[in-house]
Structure 1
């Protein structure tokens, strides 16, 4: 299945889909935000990028993820994401069978902020 969809705002590589994925937003330049879906097994090497979409709105990401057959989306067992509402909506709608795991960075950050707040109050 060598379907590649590209334009100015997105890239899609369904052949890189695996059982464990990550979805996150990043700023590549000049504050432009992108949503990136990656294959965790590739660890940043060739075959890592599944999808790259300009923007972080769930509706924008839906356009590209809808190209993935339901059977393939249902085969995904785990999706790692941050705590943003948009990433949660995307994961729930398109990877509904996958266990959703919050990225440890975001959990640590939340815990440290809570501890700092308690420390300041004392």
Structure 2
């Protein structure tokens, strides 16, 4: 069985991050009395999109990170890709909660860079095996 210690730590951190993004949604839903769907409440909508964007990008990020690690890439590369993804998601979430377009934009740039780096490494490994 392959053990993926770096991916495991990042997956655990992302799981906790998802909870951290979800709790403010629940609290806001209780406050505004809107328990289902998106809302006319702008604050709630921003929180929902911050969580939604997280769930759109992080799963593929974790999968590609795990594959990079499983293929025996250097630990520094796995940590760099995971760190870029985590930093990107943090910036994006902060930019959604504030709201701040520059934070959101930089968050997406780091997210894209992490996915591109993982994809490039996977393709290189596949071509040279």
TM-score scaled to structure 1, two decimals? 0.29
Question: Which has a greater percent of strand?
Answer: 1
Question: Which has a greater percent of helix?
Answer: 2
- Name which structure has the greater RCO, CA cutoff 8 Å, separation 6+: 2
